[in-house]
A and B are shown apart, each in its own frame.
Chain A
């Protein structure tokens, strides 16, 4: 990966324009595939497939590791491969390809990485309960007026605001 330190990073896209484009993409996705965007679903199918590869008794651990052969699972995998390609392309065009740790000014790199791992763990666990993450449950749910999607979205952001104060040192 190139580090374009000599080139200026381009400005981020206007958030309303980005949101509008994302909304159109979501609409087209629903029109074509009958369901919205997703991310955590792909990781779930990788975890299930991975566990099945490592141990033959995966299905004995729990019902979770019994694959249901749902083709949409591989749909999500392809989508996530696309996300990686698309983000890389965008980063390349805007001179943002670089190895970097983003963190608040008051914490050390190692603290940031441990918390990122913990945060990912929480998100992975929560996305299974929520039957989707911010994209699959909250955003896509909002587009199709799903009560579950709205509820999960409110729970995510509501909790975030409730505990943000106590973790302010991490970010500000």
Chain B
């Protein structure tokens, strides 16, 4: 189901409206929590005010627990969620520089913007500093580029990096957070500095702590579930479909269909737009491989009375698209076996000319000879199916697609 915008489940025009509303909530909470005061923020490093740790860690585990359960129940497809990529050196260097910035400036970017909004002059100056810092990075980007792009470990998940299951990692994280809350509270109570900064709303959080511990235990007791999203086909079903070779359509079959019942076919060209424009099979429409799972293409790909056939230059892209789309719940999809390359090899390669009386072999040869004429001479096609789209020059540009995979 989610995330909504990347999958076009809600109108993209509402994009900025959501951004604005979310921002208002973000700014409101930051200011209410006291993140608009650099002295409160710096307190986390000097033991007199741990608001940063409390808010930050609570927000982190709340969202992480939420994501864990959303993912578990299939309410959100994590394939569409941005996982901050890890570039090892750059992540550490950036963190160290930001740590220095935190001690010197007493803010981080989000909090400084919130503080500037209520008139904190030090925050306004801090924001100005961010602009300069970002510009410096850009100005010397060529110098930094190597280190910035070094050791790319992709969207590595933290539990995978540590070799833990996600549930156990979350369990450990929650316990760490609760322990940190209890210890820092003791330190904060002992500190006798700046008590005026601790003018906070009192709240009994014991029950909430207990509830979070129960949630942590539930996460590790949950049965390891097969990851299946709401509309998705299970892994077992996919395995069965993969073994079932009926999805494969041979070159002869496809040629036969195109000649005799093209109106019952929906041919999908998965290659690039450029390749498609250069040449494509008659009536084929162009959808990029990764776009076959987009919601807007779902209707197109599930016509009621047509046979859907994917093709690419080789077989690999078409098979991948078939897998992705089938996994996403689309049905009755077919793949051109061997891709365009094989299609042309069969239709325009050499026809065996040894003597034979095998009726099957003979009829095969006859059909190929006929199909060859049909595809090279688009007019045959036009006469038969007036009105349909025809790529007339198909016979002449055959070479363009050959060899590429």
Contact = CB atoms under 8 A, between A and B. Distances in A.
Interface in B151-175: 153, 155-161, 166, 169
Interface string A74-110: 1111111111111111110010111111111000000
Contacts of A160: 44-45, 99, 102-103
A40 B138 CA distance: 14
Interface string B120-137: 111101111111111111
Nearest to A150: B158
B307 to A, nearest CB: 34
B contact patch SS: helix
Q: Is the interface of A mostly helix, strand, loop or mixed?
A: helix
Interface centre among A19, A36, A94, A130 (most CB of B within 10 A): A19
Interface in B81-124: 81-88, 90-123
A15 B92 CA distance: 28
Contacts of A99: 119, 121
A78 to B, nearest CB: 4
Interface stretch (B12-20, B257-265, B282-290, B369-377): B12-20
Interface centre among B27, B50, B78 (most CB of A within 10 A): B27
A155 B91 contact: yes
A140 B31 CA distance: 19
Given A15-B55, A116-B129, A155-B95, A91 B138 contact: no
Given A11-B199, A12-B201, A96 B46 contact: no
Identify which of A62, A71, A83, A99 gathers the most chain B CB atoms within 10 Å of its CB. Answer: A83
B48 A172 contact: yes
B166 A135 contact: no
B174 to A, nearest CB: 12
Contacts of A37: 22, 26, 110
Interface string A1-12: 100000001011
Given A102-B38, A125-B97, A127-B98, A147 B138 contact: no
B26 A167 contact: no
B133 A122 contact: yes
B200 A82 contact: no
Contacts of A74: 16
Given A18-B29, A33-B3, A134 B23 contact: no
B136 A24 contact: no
A48 B29 CA distance: 29
Interface of B: 2-6, 10, 15-16, 18-34, 36-40, 42-46, 48, 50-51, 54-64, 66-67, 70, 75-76, 78, 80-88, 90-123, 125-142, 144-145, 148, 153, 155-161, 166, 169, 181, 193-194, 199-203, 205, 208
Interface of A: 1, 9, 11-37, 39-40, 43-44, 46-48, 51, 61-65, 71, 74-91, 94, 96-104, 112-113, 115-164, 167-168, 170-172
